[in-house]
Amino acid sequence: MTKVEGMIVNSLSLCYHNKVILAPMVRVGTLPMRLLALDYGADIVYCEELIDLKMLQCKRVVNEVLSTVDFVAPDDRVVFRTCEREQSRVVFQMGTSDAERALAVARLVENDVAGIDVNMGCPKEYSTKGGMGAALLTDPDKIEKILSTLVKGTHRPVTCKIRILPSLEDTLSLVKRIERTGIAAIAVHGRKREERPQHPVSCEVIKTISEALSIPVIANGGSHDHIQKHLDIEDFRQATAASSVMVARAAMWNPSIFLKDGLRPLEEVMQKYIRYAVQYDNHYTNTKYCLCQMLREQLESPQGRLLHAAQSSQEICEAFGLGVFYEETTRELDARRADLLARTPEEVGESAEDISGVIKMAVKFDRRAYPPQITPKMCLLEWCRREKLAQPVYETVQRPLDRLFCSVVTVADKKYQSTLWDKSKKLAEQTAAIVCLRSQGLPEGRLSEESSSLHKRKWEAPDQDPGGPRAQEPALPGELCKKPFVVLRNSEESSLEGR
């Protein structure tokens, strides 16, 4: 496993033969549950289904406080969080109905996960209403396009998870077509789209699929009838002739189902889960939901009532005798945050070669000091055009701890940066442009300066927000995220605006 520009790149190829796997489960398959399943012996863990459109709004943030990689939505909600502990064994499952969106999501996350999976079996409305999940089963052409695009476009193994069709003939025709796309494995839930857990799982259909395909088949759907303890996992695998077994509800009820030595007491399992939830800042509502799934019939017990009443992570910890652990852990996390916030920009996550030769000044951009529609970025762009230089390239990073921004502009192979951090990406880029202009002794468009050609020239887009992304500004090359920042790229912003 190697690290490249703040990202952890998994160089291992995931194997799907003879594995026990934590199934993707909405609201359950978050980081604490995945880590717990790995602790108890799961070979591979799937995250919950995450919708492509939502993921494409996210920014990748290296969280140095938690030692995680976070994919954060515009409302600051963490949509997907992972860590180095699981990165060689976590599979990212997406909900999608579009090949190009699927590929964009895969490329967004592929350096932080071990595999990419497409949900083609979820029968719930939130998945099927957008043509995703089990709705794809009626459109084999779209299935083929999505999977073929992913196989060709990502360097991670691609899989999908399906349900069986009403007829065995149609099911076999579909899975053989799926196999020809080049995917690494296929997970089969042995129920039809309209069937629910109370309906028996069709082991014989999964077995027929397993015998018909040359790629690994992962059997799923055995929790209700077949899997109550670890030894049952192997029995289910043999009954379906599958390469591997994917466990859902049995693992949700007690993740120690993966432990070869047998189930651990539920109290012990829940306490271990809570510790992970606190250490990785899991939202208390998600923690509470997962614990309720474990307690099940014990929800009316004294501890169940305490859990039901809990309205914070601290109250959950206190309900399970972990109050001291919560206080110690939160103090440690707060200390990490304080330490990171106290660092100067030069100290935070930059390697020597990255900062050497960067020209720096302590400047700020004050919009009131400039005429309408005239900014330092415009002045710098105009100067570069006049001098026949390449357009300025801005590399903007955000510090997740305080949400402040810093930008470095490259002009004629030299880099310029303000040592002061700004409240927005636009402001940070303007201050970087000011540093460059002042270093070169060039006018920056201030009201106090003499008129320049920019003042006389009508701007092509007079209603353009000053400092905002423009068509003539080039996208930043490559992944530029460096700990502990999130990178903002003009090309990403433009692509999202049209979605």
Please answer whether residues 78 and 63 qualify as being in contact, where contact means their C-beta atoms are separated by less than 8 angstroms. no
Beginning with the edge strand found earlier in the chain, give each strand of the sheet holding 404-411 in spatial order. Answer: 78-83, 68-72, 59-63, 486-488, 393-399, 404-411, 414-418, 358-361
Which uninterrupted H or E stretch holds 232?
Answer: helix 230-240
CA distance 274 to 411: 50
The two tokens of residue 298 are 């014990």
Q: Which residues contact 209 (CB under 8 A, 6 or more apart)?
A: 164, 171, 172, 175, 186, 188, 217
DSSP secondary structure of 109-134: HGGG-SEEEEEE---SHHHHTTT-GG
Which uninterrupted H or E stretch holds 21?
Answer: strand 20-22
CA distance 415 to 293: 54
The two tokens of residue 433 are 């442009």
User: From the CA atom positions of the chain, what is the Rg in Å?
Assistant: 26
Instruction: Report in angstroms the alpha-carbon separations of 297 from 288, 290, 300, 301.
Output: 15, 14, 7, 9
Please answer whether residues 310 and 284 qualify as being in contact, where contact means their C-beta atoms are separated by less than 8 angstroms. yes
Active-site amino acid positions: 122
Please answer whether residues 320 and 271 qualify as being in contact, where contact means their C-beta atoms are separated by less than 8 angstroms. yes
The two tokens of residue 348 are 């935070």
